[in-house]
Amino acid sequence: MKTFRDILRCCILPNVFLYISLSNATTFLPTPLEQQLESVSAVIRGQYLGSVSKRSPSGDVVTQLSFKLKSQVGLLPKEILNPNNFMVLMPGGTLDGIVYFVQGVPTFRMDEEAIIFLAKGPYGLHIYNLGLGKYSIVKEAGNTLIRSDIFPTHSELGNISFEQLETQLSRRFGQSLQQIKLNYSTPPAIVASEQSRRDPASATGREIASAEAEGDGLGQGWILMLFLGILGIISTRLTRRRN
């Protein structure tokens, strides 16, 4: 006859653990591209450069991904401070040797190019809906396609042509992906804002430099006056001797 402990061990506990595992699992459902874009703030095509994990102001561990921005749609000029080091956040990461695992986050290979769906959060732009927001760029039979990392074999999400993507982006944002200019410069409003933040320090530097210049001028003036005075004394003495 089974004891209560045996029943607990063989029947109840496995079901409890299964429930906990399922409740913590991330479940993705295939969502049409058009429907995904309705919740997206921006879309970028970027080359992955690397990542670093840190704590957000709320104390959560996040990973900051760096991309070289190739093209974009939906971003504001002030959000593109440096297209050669464009930052995007995702939850989890490795900090101080501890892995903070978040199921469903996308993975990237160094120098990999991908299409990334972005959403706005309290601490900046982050990848939309974890791994569902990453599409790999593949070439097949001379055609360039994008493929969902979560559903690579799906009949629709695993085989999207760039023409289809551009059409959906135009419907959502009013335009398709816009190429990033090689000579991209920070918008004047942002430059002015940054300069205004540095004005006190700059003004102080100018005041110090001006004071030093004035000090140098005064010093040179005194030397000249002293020199002329000495010449006057010598001239007076020579005149007296002649007389």
Could you report the per-residue pLDDT of 27-72, keeping only the tens digit for each? Answer: 889 999 999 999 999 999 999 999 999 999 999 999 999 999 999 9
Beta strands 61-73 and 86-91 are antiparallel
pTM: 0.66
pLDDT (0 to 100) of residue 232: 56
Q: Domain residues for 238?
A: 186-243
Alpha-carbon distance of 144 to 11, in angstroms, equals 52
Dihedral, CA of residue 69, residue 73, residue 78 and residue 82, to nearest 10: 0
218 and 115 within one domain: no
Which residues are registered as beta bridge partners of 124? Answer: 121
237 and 202 within one domain: yes
pLDDT (0 to 100) of residue 230: 57
Terminal CA-CA length for the chain: 143
Name which of 95, 121, 113, 99 is nearest 42 in CA terms.
121
171 and 70 within one domain: yes
Report how many domains make up the chain: 2
Q: Are 40 and 129 in contact (CB under 8 A)?
A: no
Alpha-carbon distance of 42 to 120, in angstroms, equals 9
Alpha-carbon distance of 26 to 39, in angstroms, equals 19
For residue 125 the two structure tokens come to: 């732009």
Instruction: Identify the segments of the chain with pLDDT beneath 70.
Output: 1-25, 182-243
Phi and psi angles of residue 36, each rounded to the nearest 5 degrees, phi first = -60, -45
Whether residue 239 lies inside any domain: the answer is yes
Alpha-carbon distance of 232 to 92, in angstroms, equals 83
179 and 220 within one domain: no
